[in-house]
Chains A and B, each alone.
Chain A
Amino acid sequence: MPLAALNWNPALDNWIVVAGVLCAVACALPGTFLMLRRMSMMGDAISHAVLPGLAIAFLFAESRNSVAMFAGAAVVGVLTALLTQWVHRLGKVEESASMGVVFTALFALGLLLIVRAADHVDLDPGCVLYGAIELVPLDTVHLAGTDVPRAVVTLAAIVLLNVLFILAFYKELKISSFDPALATTLGIHAGLMHYLLMIIVAVTTVAAFESVGSILVIAMLIVPAATAHLLTDRLSITLLLAAAIAAAAAVLGHLGAIALPPLLGFEDTSTSGMMAVMVGALFALALLAAPRHGVVSRLLVRLGLTLRITEEDMLGVLYRLEESGRTGESQRIISLMRQARGAGPVLARAALADLRRRGEIGGRRESVALTERGRTRARGLVRSHRLWEAYLERHWNVAPQRVHTSAERLEHVRDESIQRRLAERTDHAEVDPHGSAIPQRHPPDPRQQRQ
């Protein structure tokens, strides 16, 4: 796709994308650990609460001094975590509520301080919330012979810091995230890891603030990690995937910001907002289509199970009819089979079609009958049903007239070893409580029967 068609200006847009990607990756890495620790909202809390830290740093330094800013942010970040813990412990306030109390109070304080500080320094809360990533290429420093935007340098340093932090403390972070008690017994200071992570989150937040605004920071702290969590179970892969998803969302976000609105007849829009939307879209995609934890695949698994149970119920009905010598009344059979599990017409038809495809029932549409293959499967099922009935009656004192309902559910548990143990526990019973014969697993050889 020709970038020129999008009014892509390499001198500007390339740097915007680079800054967005760096910021997204910097946030996604610590965000993964926040998510594992069920502390995602701490990212939200800290990124709102660093406001007073920034304001106080401005008031002290009387300028936009980066060192003072980072220090102020780190202090307030840890303070947020500490205060949340204190209010939670001292006041016995539920943890999320204590977080809510602390970060909104700090945010309010920050707003007041910033308004007071605004006389001296050019800083408005709007800039903190949405940032101004579009302005990143304008503020450059001279580095290695070229002009590099200052924000890109800062963000690259933060990415490096976060990568080094995770590499250095990978094992400690991993264990203390999954099992703090185990971490303590292994001699890892879980509390220290907690506060180190809080410092990293606070510093990352501040670095990203200026260029992309706090809302994108929150989005990138939480959403890529959650998306990766849907796709894999391994921590190392989660980290890499989260970083990749965050970077992809940043690129897509900037493209979307300059390409999407014109399609609808508008001008371009805020890049950081669009980046958050794009990462949300990626999350929605994973939510639906993730291979194991996605909604669609789980729905498919559940549908498959429903289909299997319906099929088994139908086979059971056919087998019992055969046992009592009533074959051939196919309309009745089909309606009986539907009733077997209260299956609706669609499900019943799907189950019939699937049974036919597997070659377990045969005959034309009007005369449904078990094939040899179907009979074997049906026999196993009926055997399971009656063994369960016998077992329930014998060992659980369930009245004979009531065992059927429970057995109807349990019959689908047809694990080989369970079947064997059921037979043993019922002394290889030959009839169920209703007096019907329990079919053998291996039917007597017809040739032997003939003899």
Chain B
Amino acid sequence: MRTRHTSAAFAFALLLLAAPADAESGSLRIESTWPSAAQIARVLMLRDHNTRVVIAGTALLGLACGTIGTFLLLRRRALMGDAISHATLPGIAAAFLVMTAAGGSGKYLPGLLLGALVSGGLGVAGVLLIRNLTRIREDAALGIVLSVFFGLGVALLGVIQKMERGSAAGLESFIYGKTASMLQSDALLIGACALVITLVCALLFKELTLLCFDQEFCAAQGRRVLLLDAVMMTLVIAVTVIGLQAVGLILIIAMLIIPPAAARFWTDRLAASVTLAAAFGALSGIVGAGLSALAPRLPAGAIIVLVATGLFVVSLVFGPARGVLSRLRDHLRLARTVARQNLLRTMYEAYERAPAGPHAGVSREELLARRSWSPPRLRAALRRAQRESLLWRNSQGAFELTVEGLIQARRTVRNHRLWELYLIHHADIAPSHVDRDADQLEHVLGARMVAELESLMAAAAPAAAVPPSPHDLPDPRR
């Protein structure tokens, strides 16, 4: 029962992305806890003021997190968000204590956020200090800071809970988030933060890029690495602190990591990556908040993160730049090229060995014996070469090269032998060993490299510039 709800929620998320507003109510079973068509329509049309505020707030938060998260990811500090968000808790609790002791209300939001900002900053400083001053490595430094700071926060919360004045109720919302009860002022705060982050990232785009890709070069260009780093980490801490209330302490980490990681599958260009990450973040905010408006009992932060995860999985599989499918396709294409070239070369060498005059082609058994390949692989390569009309099968069932096949085979054999000669002359590899090395390299030779090899070999062994052709080549069409 329960799992069906979750999967139904996923299906619904996809529908919400794809289908027009009136399409889905009929396709889903309506249960007592399940939203009615009217409710869905209300959410989709953004009729409730509250829904509008929540969706706008989470979208802006996603946007801000995606933007700055991209730089964080590139700087290999993805888990720094983890340490920062845990490190904010003692700041919040301490601010509460101080403000209560001063006689004010302990829940004055700017004060709490200031406390979070300070202790988040201390957390970052702690990680960097531990890492730079001792033999403790970064992973352990992160873990130390996050667990000890969080423990301190929990201890302080424990003190607060037993205090007589001022109840601690509400502080817990920083840990789990309270998306659904976001106020307009919260959304405005997030919006302001998002605006600042976008502006700073746009203004410092070149500097931040340098910082992330090549810190030493950045310093050599006369830029203040420490200052830039501080600006970047301040933005991360700010967005974490602001986002705590919206999605909670643990899930804000996800918002910093997942959209940027998803965007990287689609492009290798940084500007596009930042934009996409911001878009993914905003989209998960909108869809997640919309879904949770329909199911108010479920934690909204978790739904937002799961929507982002869905986007990540889709990107991981289908992303054109480094997605699994596109890499698989490249891999298969290369494997096919290698198989074709190996087949053509084997054919050509069989021709060379054959007695002069018209001959009866090369049988499959001979091809099989000439190279260590399995019968199914050879069969597949033969089938494909026939389809590409590089080979044809004569009346005796043997294989012969077509004109096109012969041209390609000559080129392949030539490349192979050029490499062999190059390796013998310039890399001091024994003639008996070059075949294997050349076998691996010949498939990746570009036109420029062949030209370079030719000029090199023309000087070293001019006779070898054209691969020897010891016999008259038969006309395969006859």
Contact = CB atoms under 8 A, between A and B. Distances in A.
Nearest to B153: A273
Contact of B305 (A92, A105, A218, A269): A105
A415 to B, nearest CB: 26
B233 interface: no
B210 interface: no
B306 A295 contact: no
A293 B148 contact: no
Contacts of A59: 2-3
Interface string A248-277: 000000000100010000111110111111
A108 B306 contact: yes
A96 B137 contact: no
A240 interface: no
Given A40-B142, A218-B143, A293-B134, A273 B257 contact: no
Interface string A15-36: 0000000000000000000010
A125 B173 CA distance: 12
B465 interface: no
A116 B297 CA distance: 9
A287 B140 CA distance: 13
A36 to B, nearest CB: 10
Among B130, B137, B139, B156, find the residue whose CB has the most chain A CB atoms closer than 10 A.
B139
Interface stretch (B24-32, B218-226, B258-266, B397-405): B258-266
B38 interface: no
Nearest to A125: B176
A108 B254 contact: yes
B250 interface: yes
A93 to B, nearest CB: 5
A101 B258 contact: yes
Nearest to B80: A96
A104 B2 contact: no
A29 to B, nearest CB: 16
A220 B442 CA distance: 55
Interface string A184-214: 0000000000000000000000000000010
B309 A105 contact: yes
Interface residues of B, number: 63
B15 interface: no
Nearest to B86: A215
A226 B157 contact: no
Among B73, B134, B140, B257, find the residue whose CB has the most chain A CB atoms closer than 10 A.
B140
A276 B148 contact: yes
A39 B2 CA distance: 34
Interface stretch (B46-54, B158-166, B347-355, B449-457): B158-166
Interface stretch (A41-49, A143-151, A153-161, A370-378): A41-49
A113 to B, nearest CB: 7
A9 B137 CA distance: 41
Interface in B252-288: 253-254, 257-258, 261, 264-265
A245 to B, nearest CB: 13
B159 A223 contact: no
A221 B322 CA distance: 35
Given A105-B306, A219-B148, A91 B82 contact: no
B151 A277 contact: yes
B125 interface: no
A90 interface: yes
Given A91-B316, A269-B156, A223 B144 contact: yes
A343 interface: no
B254 A43 contact: no
A279 interface: yes
Given A43-B143, A96-B76, A108-B306, A115 B297 contact: yes
Nearest to B152: A277
Interface residues of A, number: 69
Contacts of B135: 229-230, 293
B136 A229 contact: yes
B469 interface: no
Given A40-B142, A101-B312, A222-B147, A116 B2 contact: yes
Contact of B159 (A41, A117, A221, A266): A266
A229 B309 CA distance: 36
A225 B139 CA distance: 12
Contacts of A298: 133
Interface string B64-101: 00000000010010110110000000000000000000
Among A38, A222, A223, find the residue whose CB has the most chain B CB atoms closer than 10 A.
A222
Contacts of B409: none
B218 to A, nearest CB: 20
Nearest to B319: A91
A130 B78 CA distance: 25
Given A219-B151, A273-B154, A40 B139 contact: yes
Contacts of A115: 297-299
A321 interface: no
A109 B147 CA distance: 22
Contacts of A283: 144, 148
B151 A280 contact: yes
B76 to A, nearest CB: 6
A99 B258 CA distance: 10
Nearest to A55: B2
Nearest to B322: A92
Interface string A112-138: 110111000000011001100000000
Contacts of B264: 93
Nearest to A261: B159
A24 to B, nearest CB: 12
A229 B146 CA distance: 19
Contacts of B81: 100
B70 to A, nearest CB: 11
Interface in B160-189: 162-163, 172, 175-176
B303 interface: yes
Nearest to A276: B151
Contact of A215 (B3, B73, B154, B323): B154
Contact of B155 (A91, A112, A117, A273): A273
28 contacts: A40-B137, A40-B142, A41-B139, A94-B76, A96-B78, A97-B79, A100-B257, A104-B254, A104-B258, A107-B250, A108-B305, A111-B299, A112-B298, A112-B303, A113-B6, A125-B176, A218-B150, A219-B148, A221-B143, A226-B140, A226-B144, A229-B136, A230-B134, A273-B151, A273-B155, A273-B158, A279-B151, A283-B144
Interface of B: 2-3, 5-6, 73, 76, 78-79, 81-82, 130, 133-137, 139-144, 146-148, 150-159, 162-163, 172, 175-176, 250-251, 253-254, 257-258, 261, 264-265, 297-299, 301-303, 305-306, 309, 312, 316, 322-324
Given A101-B312, A113-B6, 9 more contacts: A98-B261, A100-B261, A104-B254, A230-B134, A230-B136, A269-B156, A273-B151, A273-B157, A276-B148
